[in-house]
Amino acid sequence: MASWRDKVKAAAHTAPTRVSRNGQVVLPARARRAVGIEPGDLVVSVPVGPGALLVEKVGGPPGRSLKEFYESEDNPLRGLWGPDPLAWLEELRGPWREPADS
């Protein structure tokens, strides 16, 4: 699996953003969209190494609950496990062994 550093390198063609005098930066729209950060979201900044800061979403915009997000058409998880998530999970976990099989 690609690490966050590999992903940063892969996106190296992205134009840099200058940090303002009071520390403000603009998150490029393409990067925001790719990770589901929308205007109004709450983010935290986590130092991860020299010159590297991780911006992580910790909450949605006020007025929209998580459940409302999951119910919306924006939810990227809709239908992700196919028509029958229980069958998908059953296949993932494999056969149930009865005591005689143990």
Q: How many residues bind another protein (CB under 8 A)?
A: 39
- Per CB under 8 A, contacts with another protein among 5-44 are 34-37
- Counting contacts by CB under 8 A, is residue 48 touching another protein? no
Q: Is the CB of 19 or the CB of 33 nearer to another protein?
A: 33
Q: Is the CB of 27 or the CB of 57 nearer to another protein?
A: 57
SS3 state at 101: helix
Q: Is the CB of 47 or the CB of 82 nearer to another protein?
A: 82
For 39-56, give one letter per residue: b (16+ CB within 10 A) or e: eeeeeeeeeeeeeeeeee
Q: How far apart are CA 45 and CA 13, in angstroms?
A: 23
Query: Smallest distance from the beta carbon of 53 to another protein, in angstroms?
Result: 18
Q: How far apart are CA 20 and CA 28, in angstroms?
A: 15
